[in-house]
Chains A and B, each alone.
Chain A
Amino acid sequence: EDKVVQSPLSLVVHEGDTVTLNCSYEVTNFRSLLWYKQEKKAPTFLFMLTSSGIEKKSGRLSSILDKKELFSILNITATQTGDSAVYLCASGTYKYIFGTGTRLKVLA
């Protein structure tokens, strides 16, 4: 059965800390791994990682994909209170399997 597992389930840090969020996946047909940030409503797209694009960076956020070990990490450096959200990862082809997310709380 296809599955995506995220860890930790929740995390509380202080502003300025660096956090690492984990995502492991087992899917029958892998095309890409997606990361999202979800605050009050719908998930907002962050990154897509594929076999041909295993590292992405945008500002304080970065992500890598390890296709051999079937996992990905999302790093956030110099965290801010605005980073507080649930972070979701998903894997698959057109039919994406999502993890349950990591709830990050950044304290001022």
Chain B
Amino acid sequence: GVTQSPTHLIKTRGQQVTLRCSSQSGHNTVSWYQQALGQGPQFIFQYYREEENGRGNFPPRFSGLQFPNDSSELNVNALELDDSALYLCASLRESGELFFGEGSRLTVL
């Protein structure tokens, strides 16, 4: 499965946040999505073998890392109120199936 931490967090505008994700080793492709209230998930970016290999329409203050054990981080700098959302990490299988973790709910005040 896919495990994310923390499950909930509250930050203030201008702060920085790091969200973490771990998946079964060998599931090399990790995707991150942002889901605002009442919306479908929106693709942020994807990592394969520690390299970003796809990015959605998000500014550079959204950045990520993938580690040799396939765990991953999403970093967001200079938080804005609109960054309040559920952040979903997903394992993308070679078949194309996409499995999500439980998500990290970020509130920016």
Contacts and interface: CB of A to CB of B under 8 A. Distances in A.
Contact of A50 (B41, B56, B86, B96): B96
B38 interface: yes
Q: Size band of the B side of the interface?
A: 20 to 34
B102 A100 contact: no
A48 B93 CA distance: 12
Contacts of B98: 34, 45, 90, 96
A95 B46 contact: yes
Nearest to B97: A48
Given A42-B88, A48-B95, A98 B42 contact: yes
Nearest to A34: B98
Please indicate which of the listed interface residues B41, B56, B97 has the most CB atoms of chain A within 10 Å of its own CB: B41
Interface string A66-104: 000000000000000000000010100111111111000
B41 A98 contact: yes
Interface of B: 29, 31, 33, 38-43, 46, 54, 56, 86, 88, 92, 95-103
Interface of A: 4, 31-32, 34, 36, 41-45, 48, 50, 88, 90, 93-101
13 contacts: A4-B40, A41-B102, A42-B88, A42-B100, A42-B103, A45-B97, A48-B95, A48-B96, A50-B96, A94-B92, A98-B41, A100-B38, A100-B39
